[in-house]
Amino acid sequence: MADTVRDLLQGHPTDAPAIGAPGRDWLTFGGLAGLADATLATLNGWGVGRGDRVAIVLPNGPEMAAAFVTLACCCDTAPLNPAYKEDEFDFYLSDLKAKLLVVSADETGPAVAAARTAGLPIARLATGATDPAGHFTLHLEGDAPAPEAARPGFSGPDDGALVLHTSGTTSRPKIVPLLNRNVAASARHIGASLALTPADRCLNIMPLFHIHGLIAAVTTSLAHGASVWCSPGFNALQVFAWMDAAAPTWYTAVPTMHQAILSRAPRNPESVARARLRLIRSSSSSLPPQVMGALEETFGCPVVESYGMTEACHQMTANPLPPAPRKPGSVGIAAGPQVRVADEAENRLLDGTAPGEVVISGPNITPGYEANPEANAKSFFDADGQRWFRTGDQGVFDADGYLTITGRLKEIINRGGEKISPREVDDVLMDHPAVQQVVTFAMPHPKLGEEVAAAVVLRDGQSAGEQDLRSFAAGRLADFKVPRKVLILEEIPKGATGKLQRIGLAAKLGLGVDA
């Protein structure tokens, strides 16, 4: 069984395509294996080895994909968002105790400035004009971190492969270490749920500093001998041209990306007709059932909604492929780890269809937050002879074992003691014919503590006013659940990975207590 990232890259035909990109020749599995060997020799020669942290700040594309998988074969990778400011890089490079920073050959931005201030060695990643997609060489700027690596050679199952921070809102983000065995298990689980074969090709439009793109699109594809075609970053205006160029059998994205693709589909009917997608995958936030239905009607293939998070090395549950049923609004059945619900306050599992906090146990789960015993004590507990991780999500299983997420526990709106799931309000407003996108959130209230608000984007050519939408919701929801404020926007603010974020949205939109 494959238990390391390097294991995942082994055993595939050496001439088979692995990594592609617009206007570039394919990097084969043989070329990728050679690149991993060369990267190991280079890093070990600089004193970087197993367990050492290497921060990666590269733009989306094939070099980022190849750098991640080859570096993860021999050290602990820390991909960072290239859009961070210098003080953010200062924090992350220090918090991670990075030993090396990898950037593009011509990078001069805040990551380089932060590394130089910290005295951190910088490696420049270069690629030739005629090199296949993803091929690179590394060149050290300055002195090597150490004369020789303390732990040379390829990483083992219990060595770190990927380290990320949780996206905290008010508290300090937590460090999530993921071992080689966690990454390998997750790639196996996702590939099994999608029935991937070497004939498959993924069009990657996800950012590659995010676990969704790194694990679901890139690593899972390569682990199953399939290929991944790397775009330079999501662009709804380019997606259909990329589909023509790459001829993918699937793509994976967050719901906001799916909605943007749907909005462009009527303008690209020929590309839609040429598409030969076997499936579409959605993850990282809830997919409105209306969007799932529109995607399936547009592309004529099943849409598989999955449920993932960083601490699980991405995937926990997934809707199965046909002929098994896919349930709109559900995140499917356990797809790798064991998934249960537990009491939200007590360390005990619940049975049957009782609602509770979703908890998980399995080989893809992080061993624990780094240097954070308080968070680990709150997030992990033992029951039924296993170690369980609390996801912070509230959910319920139906009689068939399909899980529905009813909300983040921190996002549940507490209106004077009445608990309201934002997702329930989202689902109702999405049924309005003029609504393209909606996110329901809590806004401050001087007496009730919190009140229900919603931000809405309307479909092109459609019109609806705040009172229209409130009246529509009032006909379908109890009065206390009806949004007291509906903002109609051109665009709803999103996080760095394209996800809609409920927490903090009221402040971003200027809705204080006075509102």
Phi, psi (degrees; rounded to nearest 5) at 111: -65, -45
Q: Is residue 333 part of a domain?
A: no
Q: What percent of the chain stands above pLDDT 70?
A: 98
pLDDT value of residue 168: 52
Q: Which residues pair with 382 in a beta bridge?
A: 387
Say yes or no: 301 and 417 in one domain. Answer: no
Q: What is the pLDDT of residues 340-355, one digit of tens each?
A: 999 999 999 999 888 9
Does the structure show a pLDDT above 60 at 364? yes
Q: Is residue 140 part of a domain?
A: yes
Q: What is the pLDDT of residues 420-471, one digit of tens each?
A: 888 889 989 999 999 999 999 999 998 888 999 999 999 999 999 999 999 9
The tokens describing 204, both together, are 């990657």
3-class SS shares of the chain: helix, strand, coil, % to 5: 30, 25, 45
Query: Where in the sequence is the domain holding 201, given as residue range(s)?
Result: 1-308
Q: Is residue 135 part of a domain?
A: yes
Q: Is residue 356 part of a domain?
A: no
pLDDT value of residue 513: 61
pLDDT value of residue 514: 55
Q: Which of 308, 337, 362 is the last residue of a domain?
A: 308
Q: Is residue 349 part of a domain?
A: no
The tokens describing 70, both together, are 């080859």
Q: Which of 257, 275, 308 is the last residue of a domain?
A: 308
Q: Is residue 395 part of a domain?
A: no
Say yes or no: 415 and 303 in one domain. Answer: no
pLDDT value of residue 34: 98
CATH code for the domain of 10: 3.40.50.12780
Q: What is the largest CA-CA distance in the chain?
A: 71
Q: What is the pLDDT of residues 26-39, one digit of tens each?
A: 999 999 999 999 99
Parallel, antiparallel or unpaired: strands 250-253 and 227-230: unpaired
Does the structure show a pLDDT above 50 at 169? no
Q: What is the pLDDT of residues 171-211, one digit of tens each?
A: 688 999 999 999 999 999 999 999 999 999 999 999 999 99
Say yes or no: 47 and 184 in one domain. Answer: yes
d(CA 10, CA 7): 5
d(CA 121, CA 141): 7
Give how many domains the chain has, as a whole number.
Answer: 2
pLDDT value of residue 352: 82
Q: Is residue 400 part of a domain?
A: no
Q: Which of 308, 330, 354 is the last residue of a domain?
A: 308
d(CA 191, CA 396): 25
Does the structure show a pLDDT above 70 at 43? yes
**Residue pair 101/80 in contact by the 8 Å Cβ criterion:** no
CA distances to 4, 44, 57, 108, 390 from 38, rounded to whole Å, are 18, 10, 20, 25, 40
User: Given pLDDT bands bounded at 50, 70 and 90, which one contains residue 163?
Assistant: very high
The tokens describing 422, both together, are 């934002």
CATH code for the domain of 465: 3.30.300.30
Q: Which residues pair with 303 in a beta bridge?
A: 280
Does the structure show a pLDDT above 80 at 314? yes
Q: Is residue 166 part of a domain?
A: yes
Average pLDDT score over the chain: 94
Say yes or no: 429 and 298 in one domain. Answer: no
pLDDT value of residue 410: 85
pLDDT value of residue 170: 44
